[in-house]
Amino acid sequence: MQRFIDRIREGLAQATGLERDELKIESPRDSKLGDLAFPCFPLARKLKQAPPKIAAELAEKVRIAGITTVATGPYLNFRIDRKELAETVLGEIQGAQENFGESKIGLGKTVVLDYSSPNIAKRFHVGHLRSTIIGAAVRRLHDALGYRTIGINHIGDWGSQFGKLVAAIDRWGDTVDLENDPLEALSTLYVRVNEEEKSDPELAEAGRAAFRELESGKQGHVRETWKHLTELSLQEFDRAYQRLGVTFDFVRGEAFYEPYLRSTIERIVEAGVAETSEGALVVSLEGFKEKMPPCLLEKSDGTTLYATRDLAAAFHRFEEFRFERCLYVVGSAQKLHFQQLKAVLKRMNLEWEPRLEHVDFGMLSLPGGKLSSRKGSVLLLDELLNRAVEEARKVIEDKNPDLTDADRIAEEVGIGAVIFNDLKRERIKDVVFEWSEVLSFEGETGPYVQYTHARLASILRKGAGREGSLDGSLLENAAPILLSLGRFPGVVRNAAENSEPSELAQFLLSLCREINSWLVPNKVLSEDPGLASSRLVLVRGAKICIRSGLRLLGVAAPEEM
Ligand code: ARG
């Protein structure tokens, strides 16, 4: 598609004398009007003429090979020759194969992504699922554009609760099964210590002392215990990451930035933006258009905060990676936190402050209510994934009882359904989890896209040996599919730019709908060898595109299901 856009820009530039890059080409609102459109409004002022008049004149004047121009109101619409459309788009896919959609626009630039980032010693619950899924997808989208991406799991491994846990392990460690079910054991201990410290000042003091020792950096029993419980928690999280196909370059929790806290505070003080208020060190954030309380750097007792550690992390990341973007994939509940973080950097006049972006998202909930670790209605991640796989297996067995390798496919469909369900809507919207909806083979679901892919794979298997030459003029009635395929690289680019995987998910849904409705009246394996061959090339191209799209979202594309 880019090739046609370039050609149109070239023709328009010649006719108008404008710079090519100034000429915005878009999709017409109604696809019946044309394949691409040029809105003439921006020219009105320059040429001192009404847009419809400009459009009419340009339609007369502009001549572009293989493209016809028609003026409709203030728009100049373009229709690409059908034969050339098919041969260009499918030729591009044949050349790129599974790399179709990739480009090099990010080459030499680095994007840091902070995603998943659960709090250790707690169960990984579905609340962190969205960050993991969205973050990993946004990362793959940037990878596809040639960026160097750095994935960081900023786990919550610091704070006074870890002192309490160490004290609790010291007292009751032998009453729980820390090694075999660490997260269960740790949450039991955490509940118990919070309960008993109320009436046991010695226990409370032991917890505080343990955290002081942790903060002092001293090596020894306390630090060893804390390290051990971090490792146990991470082993549990890794299981979920593996199932979801998610990886990180670094697991750097809040504790990692401990050694940099002093220099961070000094730096902020030296910039002249810190002040003391009631014994605490704060940065006042008045005067920003968003109303914000001051950012607390250090409490009166000398302890630092979540925000202090995020400031240290921001400096550390910029110094190490010189990022073009630093994306924080964190729920919208932390909007204020990231506003404050950016506001502090802005007050310090750091030119790279705009490169920090809070990629926020809405809540994930089950029909029963919101999933919060505090409120008890927690659905554990493993349980959620297991149930999805189980349900997927039922659906698959029902549809295709003879499927070999049903275990693997049930896993791919079940997990794929959970991921797709999370990514299909604008991320800021809340997600309600309805089992029947998530796993349906029809409608806006992962299984629907996977199923369409498997259907194409099956057609290709049946047509093995008959796929060869392509005559684009035989694919006239597949124009909507071809136009969509041609748009794919642009969709990937925009989805990355906006950190919005839903743009890709929605693209895939609409591509699948177009394909499925085209397949109804068009028999691919026609008796006519030329027709069958060209249609098979189209099916191959569509299959490659769906597969690439699913891969970028983190969803498997089984050949059969
Ligand atoms: N651990 C935090 C939480 O669960 C999320 C951390 C997000 N990343 C960051 N750099 N603050 O709420």
pLDDT in tens, 270-292: 999 999 999 999 999 998 999 99
What is the DSSP-derived secondary structure letter of residue 254? G
Instruction: Kindly give the distance from the C-alpha atom of residue 154 to the centroid of ligand 1, in angstroms, as a whole number.
Output: 6
Chain segment 392-414, per-residue pLDDT in tens: 999 999 989 999 999 999 999 99
The closest alpha carbon to 141, from 172, 183, 116, 105, belongs to 105
Residue whose CA is at the smallest distance from ligand 1 atom 9: 154
Predicted confidence at residue 86, as pLDDT, reads 97
Predicted confidence at residue 501, as pLDDT, reads 98
Predicted confidence at residue 373, as pLDDT, reads 42
Q: Whole-angstrom Cα distance, residue 458 to residue 558? A: 11
Q: Whole-angstrom Cα distance, residue 249 to residue 437? A: 34
Chain segment 439-466, per-residue pLDDT in tens: 888 889 999 999 999 999 999 999 999 9
The closest alpha carbon to 255, from 223, 299, 282, 301, belongs to 223
Instruction: Kindly give the distance from the C-alpha atom of residue 226 to the centroid of ligand 1, in angstroms, as a whole number.
Output: 19
Percentage helix, strand, coil for the chain under 3-state DSSP, each rounded to 5? 60, 10, 30
Residue whose CA is at the smallest distance from ligand 1 atom 5: 117
Chain segment 203-239, per-residue pLDDT in tens: 999 999 999 999 888 999 999 999 999 999 999 899 8
125 has pLDDT over 90: no
Chain segment 15-65, per-residue pLDDT in tens: 888 888 888 999 998 889 999 999 999 888 888 899 999 999 999 999 999
- Mean pLDDT of the 323-334 span: 96
382 has pLDDT over 90: no
Q: Which CATH superfamily is domain 2-80 in?
A: Arginyl tRNA synthetase N-terminal domain (3.30.1360.70)
Q: Give the mutation target among 158, 330, 339 for probing the ligand 1 site: most ligand atoms within 8 A of CB.
A: 330
Predicted confidence at residue 81, as pLDDT, reads 96
Non-local (6+) Cβ contacts of 239 within 8 A are: 382
Q: Give the mutation target among 117, 126, 150, 256 for probing the ligand 1 site: most ligand atoms within 8 A of CB.
A: 117
Predicted confidence at residue 383, as pLDDT, reads 81
Instruction: Kindly give the distance from the C-alpha atom of residue 161 to the centroid of ligand 1, in angstroms, as a whole number.
Output: 16
CATH of the domain spanning 381-553, picked from 2.40.50.100, 3.40.50.300, 3.40.50.720, 1.10.730.10: 1.10.730.10
The mean predicted confidence, pLDDT, of the chain is 93
- Please give the positions annotated as active site: 122, 125, 128
Q: Confidence band (pLDDT; 50, 70, 90) for 368? A: low
Q: Whole-angstrom Cα distance, residue 230 to residue 224? A: 10
Pocket of ligand 1 (CB under 6 A): 114, 117-119, 154, 156, 310, 313, 328, 330
Ligand 1 atom index nearest CA of 310: 10
Q: Confidence band (pLDDT; 50, 70, 90) for 376? A: very low
- % of the chain with per-residue pLDDT over 70: 97
Residue whose CA is at the smallest distance from ligand 1 atom 1: 156
- Mean pLDDT of the 185-204 span: 93
Ligand 1 atom index nearest CA of 156: 1
Q: Give the mutation target among 334, 338, 344, 372 for probing the ligand 1 site: most ligand atoms within 8 A of CB.
A: 334
Predicted confidence at residue 370, as pLDDT, reads 46
Q: Confidence band (pLDDT; 50, 70, 90) for 379? A: low
Q: What is the dihedral of CA 508, 367, 361, 377, to 10 degrees?
A: -140
- Among the ranges given (120-124, 135-139, 160-164, 355-359), the one the predictor scored with the smallest mean pLDDT: 120-124
Predicted confidence at residue 164, as pLDDT, reads 95
Domain boundary assignment for the chain? 2-80, 381-553
In this structure, are residues 387 and 421 in contact, taking their beta carbons and an 8 Å threshold?
no
Predicted confidence at residue 34, as pLDDT, reads 95
Instruction: Kindly give the distance from the C-alpha atom of residue 177 to the centroid of ligand 1, in angstroms, as a whole number.
Output: 28
301 has pLDDT over 90: no
Instruction: Kindly give the distance from the C-alpha atom of residue 127 to the centroid of ligand 1, in angstroms, as a whole number.
Output: 12
H/E segment holding residue 111: strand 110-114
Predicted confidence at residue 381, as pLDDT, reads 78
Predicted confidence at residue 369, as pLDDT, reads 53
Instruction: Kindly give the distance from the C-alpha atom of residue 2 to the centroid of ligand 1, in angstroms, as a whole number.
Output: 39
